[in-house]
C-alpha cells in the first residue's frame, strides 16, 4: 500500500466516496460517459472492463432516449468498510425516480441496495472496481 493510501483518514475516504457516487449518478442522468470514474478492470452487470462498462451504460442511455425516459438517481445510507490495499467496500441505498413518455406516460420509484468496491490510487483518486445492485422494490407512480 502506498504512503498516500495509508494517510487517508475515515472522513476523507467518506467524502471522496460520496463525491464519486454523486458524480457517477450525475453523469448517468445526463447520459455522459463515466469511464474516468472506473478502474481499467471495472465490472458491472456481468460486463468486465472500463470500455465495455461505459458502452453498456451509454447503450442503456440510448434506450432511455428512445422510450422518452427521464430518470434521476441518488444514494443514501452509505457505509464504507476498508478491505486493504486501497480498496473499500461501499454499500448504499440507491433511489431512482423516473418518468416515461412513450408508449404511455408513466412514472416509477425504484430502490435498490448497491454493493460496490472502490479503489484509491497513489494520488488519492477513487474509482469503481465493481458495482452490483439488488432491487429492493418498485412502485408505479401516477403522472399528471
Q: Residue 22: what pLDDT?
A: 97
CATH code, domain with 75 = 3.10.450.50
What pLDDT digit, counting tens, does each position of 15-45 carry? 999 999 999 999 999 989 999 999 999 999 9
Instruction: Quickly tell me which residue has 451509454 as its cell.
Output: 58
Query: Residues in the chain with pLDDT < 70?
Result: 1-7, 144
Three-point CA angle 79, 80, 85, nearest 5° = 170
Task: Look up the domain containing 41 and give its range.
Answer: 3-141
Average pLDDT, the chain: 91
Q: Alpha carbon 106 to chain centroid distance? A: 24
CA distance 58 to 65: 10
Number of domains in the chain: 1
Q: Residue 7: what pLDDT?
A: 67
**Residue 106 contacts residue 100 (beta carbons within 8 Å):** yes
Amino acid at each position: 500500500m502506498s504512503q498516500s493510501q495509508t494517510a487517508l483518514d475515515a472522513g476523507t475516504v467518506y467524502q471522496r466516496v460520496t463525491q464519486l457516487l454523486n458524480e457517477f449518478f450525475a453523469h448517468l442522468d445526463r447520459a455522459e460517459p463515466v469511464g474516468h470514474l472506473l478502474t481499467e478492470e471495472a465490472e458491472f452487470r456481468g460486463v468486465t472492463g472500463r470500455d465495455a462498462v461505459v458502452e453498456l451504460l451509454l447503450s442503456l442511455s440510448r434506450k432511455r432516449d428512445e422510450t422518452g425516459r427521464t430518470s434521476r438517481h441518488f444514494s443514501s445510507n452509505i457505509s464504507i468498510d476498508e478491505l486493504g490495499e486501497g480498496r473499500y467496500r461501499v454499500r448504499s441505498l440507491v433511489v431512482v425516480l423516473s418518468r416515461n413518455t412513450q408508449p404511455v406516460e408513466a412514472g416509477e420509484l425504484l430502490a435498490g441496495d448497491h454493493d460496490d468496491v472502490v479503489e484509491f490510487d497513489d494520488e488519492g483518486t477513487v474509482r469503481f472496481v465493481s458495482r452490483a445492485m439488488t432491487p429492493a422494490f418498485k412502485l408505479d407512480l401516477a403522472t399528471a
